[in-house]
């Protein structure tokens, strides 16, 4: 049972690192948004793994994971709406050119 938990944690760490790499290194806003989603899914995997194989198995982690998915869906909806508005205004999805809020 501990081996299964370690496998899930390693997979979640790999997913989180891939998402972090994508969020920090890519300039395409859509890729950055997808990378953030990948990191959120890694967190969900951790929550479910600890809920199933942790010290006190319960449904709390799975319920928390559902809550996180709902928040992630709302975040994607708002993020895509902002990206569409910025694309219509500037004609690009490059995050280095999205600096209007700085000034």
Whether 34 contacts 22, CB under 8 Å: yes
> What are the distances in angstroms from CA 28 to CA 4, 11, 19, 67, 89?
36, 25, 14, 28, 16
Q: 101 vs 68, which has greater pLDDT?
A: 68
Residue 54 forms part of a structural domain: yes
Q: Structural domain of residue 56, as residue ranges?
A: 1-90
pLDDT digits (tens, 9 = 90+) for 73-101: 999 999 999 999 989 988 888 888 877 76
Residue 56 forms part of a structural domain: yes
How many domains is the chain built from? 1
What is the CATH number for 79? 1.10.287.3510
Residue 103 forms part of a structural domain: no
pLDDT band at 102 (very low <50, low <70, confident <90, very high): low
Residue 31 forms part of a structural domain: yes
Q: What percent of the chain has pLDDT over 90?
A: 56
25 pLDDT higher than 90 = yes
Residue 30 forms part of a structural domain: yes
Residue 2 forms part of a structural domain: yes
Residue 97 forms part of a structural domain: no
H or E element, residue 1 = none
What's the pLDDT score for residue 12?
A: 96
């Amino acid at each position: 049972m501990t081996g299964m938990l370690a496998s899930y944690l390693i997979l979640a760490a790999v997913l989180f690192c891939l998402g972090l790499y994508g969020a920090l290194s890519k300039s395409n806003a859509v890729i950055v948004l997808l990378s953030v989603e990948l990191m959120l899914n890694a967190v969900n995997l951790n929550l479910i793994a600890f809920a199933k194989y942790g010290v006190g198995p319960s449904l709390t982690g799975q319920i928390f994971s559902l809550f996180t998915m709902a928040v992630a869906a709302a975040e994607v909806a708002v993020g895509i709406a902002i990206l569409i508005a910025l694309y219509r205004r500037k004609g690009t999805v490059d995050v280095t050119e999205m600096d209007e809020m700085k000034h």
